[in-house]
């Protein structure tokens, strides 16, 4: 798998994001907090990571929930996937929401989200008067049925 060099500044005391396994798509982001922080039921909080990066043009970083936090505690990323554009230079922050009925405490250094860096296309629109039909055609939500 080819690698991509990305410039990063880490102002946190924690290690840089890394892949848990060789086949992992996402890298864990950690909470850069001075002290534990509570997220009450249905509350949302913007959690800093202490990371600043310079993505090359043609790439984006997607911020996604961690499945374990979602399943075990009802903690997810509210704007998911959140997109970090190549021209953003501010601190990476994660918008978490607590969808459970219990208060959740985030500890400094906790893994709070995943970040996936991906290439993306730049679209050039071609206005036309009609488009080709497909097997699905105009079928929307739920139109592919159960298999």
Per-residue pLDDT reduced to its tens digit, 1-10 = 678 999 999 9
Sorted by sequence, the CB contacts under 8 Å of residue 36 that are 6+ apart come out as 105, 106, 107, 108
Per-residue pLDDT reduced to its tens digit, 90-142 = 999 999 999 999 999 999 999 999 999 999 999 999 999 999 988 877 777 76
| pLDDT attached to residue 135 | 80
**Domains of the chain, CATH where assigned:** 7-119 (2.70.40.10)
pLDDT value at 26 more than 70 = yes
pLDDT value at 147 more than 70 = no
Question: What is the C-alpha to C-alpha distance for residues 30 and 113, in angstroms, rounded to an integer?
Answer: 7
Per-residue pLDDT reduced to its tens digit, 58-102 = 999 999 999 999 999 999 999 999 999 999 999 999 999 999 999
Question: What is the C-alpha to C-alpha distance for residues 138 and 133, in angstroms, rounded to an integer?
Answer: 9
Sorted by sequence, the CB contacts under 8 Å of residue 100 that are 6+ apart come out as 41, 73, 74, 75
């Amino acid at each position: 798998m080819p690698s991509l060099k990305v410039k990063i500044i880490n102002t946190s005391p924690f290690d840089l994001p890394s892949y848990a396994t060789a086949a992992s798509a996402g890298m864990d982001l950690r909470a850069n907090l001075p002290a534990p922080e509570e997220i009450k039921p249905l509350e949302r909080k913007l959690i800093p990571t202490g990371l600043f990066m310079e993505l090359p043009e043609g790439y984006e970083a997607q911020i996604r929930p961690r499945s374990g936090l979602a399943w075990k505690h009802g903690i997810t990323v509210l704007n998911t996937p959140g997109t970090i554009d190549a021209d953003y230079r501010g601190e990476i922050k994660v918008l978490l929401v607590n969808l459970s009925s219990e208060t959740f405490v985030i500890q400094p250094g906790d893994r709070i989200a995943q970040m996936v860096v991906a290439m993306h296309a730049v679209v050039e629109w071609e206005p036309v008067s009609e488009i080709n039909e497909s097997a699905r055609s105009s079928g929307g939500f739920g139109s592919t049925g159960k298999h």
